[in-house]
């Protein structure tokens, strides 16, 4: 992999990731952009003991532009975009409308106000990851080699962002589909570098600590072992498995079709995966995405989904292997043809999910559809 870092016209960093060592990336950004102004703030919710990001400047971000004005396509045919090159493999750049900003990076962290009204600067970093220059493609259309390059980019960004002052967690994810709320149709994902450990991760860590106290074992190890042991039984929730990874529908799935993908060897983050694990991920993940797309064939649209990497918080160095195990969670809000799973009263008001599809049925359906 060759990595080339450059700057856009407004000073934001852009990084090309190429499979060829002889790739040349020297085209400047010729757009007349002024400096980007952001207004990001963290406000503390004392009732839930968590931070909320307030980023009012994002109201003006680009929303569903026509394909010939896509800002994530390469700059060509006289049209300038966020990517100066006429073509690319994988590219990462700082979001022009970030939820978190690096404006105060390196400055002492301060909390203003007094309970119940505490606030702090929205320091962090938000990046866009373009998986391919092909506007009409999707992640599932990539080759294993292309997925490998995306994985390299995720890993490199995890390392780089984890080293920034004040960053406590790095989150790589993809939103796909207008139903999810995606505002740009080009195949892309995002990376958030948070200045705190997220509430979901805090809950996982608390559950893992309690499990360790009760049993002396790791919770994630036990979850994976239980799902692998149930394969081939009436309670089989494994969708697909390889030598190094297993994908399964969790016993208490929140979403109609939800799959968790675990490496068999517990590691804390993407940096700790070995070559064999990385290679198998590329083929197995494509298999999984293609199964998702076959679930609702004939609807005219590909299955909307969120794919989320869960990594250990920053703090124990590269490859941190604490209680939290690296894994990917993939789920869709579509429950059947023409019907979505809405987060209504119980889910939004009380955080109590009600799933309309049994996990065993979902797993069976995903096993049946051919990738």
- Spatial distance between the Cα atoms of 41 and 120, rounded to a whole number of angstroms: 6
Q: Are 81 and 188 in contact (CB under 8 A)?
A: no
Helical pair 219-229 and 199-215, crossing angle rounded to 10 deg: 80
- Spatial distance between the Cα atoms of 14 and 23, rounded to a whole number of angstroms: 15
Nearest residue to 281 (alpha-carbon basis) of 228, 224, 242: 242
Q: How far does Cα 107 stand from its chain's mean position?
A: 28
Nearest residue to 69 (alpha-carbon basis) of 132, 135, 119: 135
Whether residue 116 is preceded by a cis peptide bond, meaning omega within 30 degrees of 0, is yes
For the record, the structure tokens of 94 come out as: 């700082």
DSSP letters spanning 104-137: TTTSPP-EEEETTEEEEE-B-EEEEEE--S-TT-
What sign does the dihedral 96-98-101-102 (CA atoms) show? Answer: negative
Strands 125-130 and 90-94: antiparallel
Residues that are catalytic: 188
Strands (E), 150-298: 169-176, 188-194, 238-241, 245-248, 257-263
- Burial string for 271-300 (b: 16+ CB within 10 Å, else e) reads bbbeeebbbbbbebbbebbbbbbbbbeeee
Place of tokens 């160095």: 317
């Amino acid at each position: 992999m060759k990595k080339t870092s450059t700057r856009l016209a407004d000073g934001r960093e852009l990084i090309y990731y190429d499979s060829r060592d002889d790739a040349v990336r020297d085209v400047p950004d010729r757009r007349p952009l002024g400096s980007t102004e952001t207004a990001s703030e963290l406000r503390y919710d004392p009732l839930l003991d968590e931070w909320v990001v307030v980023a009012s400047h994002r109201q003006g971000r680009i929303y569903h532009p026509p394909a010939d004005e896509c800002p994530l396509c390469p700059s060509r045919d006289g049209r300038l975009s966020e990517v100066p090159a006429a073509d690319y493999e994988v590219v990462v750049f700082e979001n022009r409308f970030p939820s978190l900003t690096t404006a105060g990076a390196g400055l002492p962290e301060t909390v203003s106000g007094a309970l119940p009204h505490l606030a702090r600067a929205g320091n962090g970093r938000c990046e866009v990851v373009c998986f391919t220059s092909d506007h009409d493609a999707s992640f599932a259309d990539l080759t294993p080699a292309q997925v490998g390059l995306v994985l390299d980019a995720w890993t490199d960004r995890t390392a780089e962002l984890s080293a920034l002052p004040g960053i406590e967690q790095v989150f790589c994810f993809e939103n796909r589909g207008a139903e999810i709320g995606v505002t740009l149709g080009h195949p892309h994902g995002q990376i958030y570098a948070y200045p705190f450990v997220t509430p979901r991760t805090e809950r996982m860590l608390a559950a893992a600590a309690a499990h360790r106290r009760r049993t002396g074992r790791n919770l994630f190890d036990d979850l994976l072992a239980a799902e692998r042991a149930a394969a081939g039984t009436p309670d089989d929730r494994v969708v697909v498995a390889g030598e190094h990874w297993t994908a399964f529908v969790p016993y208490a799935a929140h979403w109609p079709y939800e799959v968790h993908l675990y490496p068999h060897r517990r590691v804390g983050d993407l940096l700790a995966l070995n070559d064999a694990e990385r290679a198998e991920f590329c083929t197995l993940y494509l298999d999984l995405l293609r199964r998702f797309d076959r679930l609702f064939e004939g609807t005219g649209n590909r299955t909307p989904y969120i794919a989320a990497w869960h990594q250990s918080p920053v703090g124990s160095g590269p490859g941190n292997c604490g209680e939290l195990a690296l894994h990917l969670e993939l789920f869709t809000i579509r429950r059947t043809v023409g019907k979505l799973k809405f987060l209504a009263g119980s889910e939004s008001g009380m955080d109590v999910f009600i799933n309309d599809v049994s996990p065993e049925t979902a797993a069976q359906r995903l096993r049946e559809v051919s990738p």
